[in-house]
């Protein structure tokens, strides 16, 4: 797979004047919850409405998603708000159901990207689709595994591709839920400069009050967009409660983010500790 300008056609054709924004709840919980959040994100900069239908939970016994029923709610979102929709798929059955229900953008979760068998199954099920497919980085910081997943999809003639940087697991205690390891995203950008890359500050930080800073770093690093978990009553969310923001907070956050800053301005904002820990190379240049 070689870099090609065509990789960003789907994004360029959107003619956005701002970074791509994917927002919505971690999980679809009820029809009312899905529609209420969607209506409050209508007429904002949000381009895709996300909601997890099948939730990959690390431990059993937690909320595992509402399943296929939620796809009907996403269809209602399209109909009532005109917003495009997005959900996670993790096997052939998910892909078939999501396609049947016209989900506009599918993403592959971090726990799936680690498994070449699962990725191949998803790629085969999606073969030739013109849907947008975004690949989250694997939970472990392994660029080859991330690239391998993209290559499998590309080989299945899936051309509207992109990646989501959601951070990496670590045994060490850090302020992040998943450490950003910006260097890994930068390496991917340098190998495939035209492959759209979206940042997911919600899963990187795990805390809503850190989302703005991580989003700003991502935009400074020329990321093409953000995926931010949004819920009307975040503290009551059935999954990822601490990292979700309200629709109002999301709108403020998007307004405050700076786009296209000079290196000096960026340098002033990023703390020396952050620079050393995550070593975004371009900031040292």
- Contact residues toward ligand PEP (CB under 6 A) are 26, 52, 56, 109-111, 136, 166, 203
Least distance (Å) from Mn ion to the CB of residue 110?
A: 10
Cα gap 242→236, rounded to integer Å? 9
Nearer to ligand PEP, 109 or 280 (CB): 109
Cα gap 151→143, rounded to integer Å? 12
Residue nearest to ligand PEP (CB): 109
Least distance (Å) from ligand PEP to the CB of residue 269?
A: 26
Q: Which does 110 bind (CB under 5 to 8 A by kind): ligand PEP, Mn ion, none?
A: ligand PEP
Residue nearest to Mn ion (CB): 26
Q: Which does 8 bind (CB under 5 to 8 A by kind): ligand PEP, Mn ion, none?
A: none
Site string for Mn ion, 202-241 (x = CB under 5 A): --------------------------------------x-
Q: Which does 166 bind (CB under 5 to 8 A by kind): ligand PEP, Mn ion, none?
A: ligand PEP
Least distance (Å) from ligand PEP to the CB of residue 56?
A: 6
Least Cα distance to 250 among 235, 267, 229 occurs for 229
Stretch that binds Mn ion, among 25-33, 67-75, 132-140, 265-273 (CB under 5 A): 25-33
Nearer to ligand PEP, 109 or 196 (CB): 109
* DSSP reduced 3-state for 71: helix
Q: Is 59 exposed, middle or buried (0-12, 13-18, 19+ CB in 10 A)?
A: exposed
Q: Which does 136 bind (CB under 5 to 8 A by kind): Mn ion, ligand PEP, none?
A: ligand PEP
Least distance (Å) from ligand PEP to the CB of residue 44?
A: 20
Is 243 within 8 Å of 206 (Cβ atoms)?
Answer: yes
Q: Which does 74 bind (CB under 5 to 8 A by kind): ligand PEP, Mn ion, none?
A: none
Strand partners, 245: 230
> How many chain residues are in contact with Mn ion, going by CB under 5 A?
2
Nearer to Mn ion, 62 or 190 (CB): 62
Is 169 within 8 Å of 142 (Cβ atoms)?
Answer: no
Cα gap 62→212, rounded to integer Å? 28
Least distance (Å) from ligand PEP to the CB of residue 110?
A: 4
Q: How far is CA 284 from CA 147, 244, 263, 264, in A?
A: 26, 32, 10, 11
Is 27 within 8 Å of 239 (Cβ atoms)?
Answer: yes
Report the residue from 26, 71, 135, 150 that binds Mn ion according to the rule CB under 5 A.
26
Q: Is 29 exposed, middle or buried (0-12, 13-18, 19+ CB in 10 A)?
A: buried
Is 188 within 8 Å of 197 (Cβ atoms)?
Answer: yes
Least Cα distance to 149 among 129, 119, 186 occurs for 119
Binding residues for Mn ion, rule: CB under 5 A, are: 26, 240
């Amino acid at each position: 797979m070689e870099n090609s300008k065509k990789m960003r056609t789907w994004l360029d054709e959107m003619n956005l004047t701002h970074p791509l924004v994917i927002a919505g709840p971690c999980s679809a919980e009820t029809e009312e919850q899905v529609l209420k959040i969607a209506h409050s994100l209508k007429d904002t900069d949000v381009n895709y409405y996300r909601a997890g239908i099948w939730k990959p939970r690390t431990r059993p016994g937690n909320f595992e998603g509402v399943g296929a029923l939620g796809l009907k709610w996403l269809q209602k979102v399209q109909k009532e708000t005109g917003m495009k929709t997005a959900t996670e798929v993790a096997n052939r059955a998910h892909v078939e159901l999501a396609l049947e229900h016209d989900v506009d953008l599918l993403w592959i979760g971090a726990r799936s990207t680690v498994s070449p068998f699962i990725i191949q199954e998803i790629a085969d099920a999606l073969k030739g689709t013109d849907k947008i497919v975004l690949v989250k980085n694997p939970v472990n910081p392994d660029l080859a595994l991330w690239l391998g997943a993209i290559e499998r999809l590309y080989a299945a003639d899936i051309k509207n591709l992109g990646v989501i940087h959601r951070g990496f697991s670590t045994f060490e205690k850090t302020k992040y839920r998943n450490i950003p390891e910006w260097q890994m995203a930068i390496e991917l950008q340098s190998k495939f400069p035209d492959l759209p890359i979206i940042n997911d500050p919600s899963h990187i930080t795990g805390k809503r009050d850190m989302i703005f800073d991580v989003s700003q770093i991502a935009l400074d690093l020329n990321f093409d967009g953000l995926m931010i978990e949004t819920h009307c009553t975040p503290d009551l969310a059935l999954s990822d409660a601490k990292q979700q923001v309200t629709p109002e907070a999301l709108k403020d956050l998007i307004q405050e983010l700076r786009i296209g800053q000079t290196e000096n301005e960026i340098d002033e904002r990023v703390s020396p500790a952050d620079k050393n820990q995550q070593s975004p190379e371009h900031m040292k240049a």
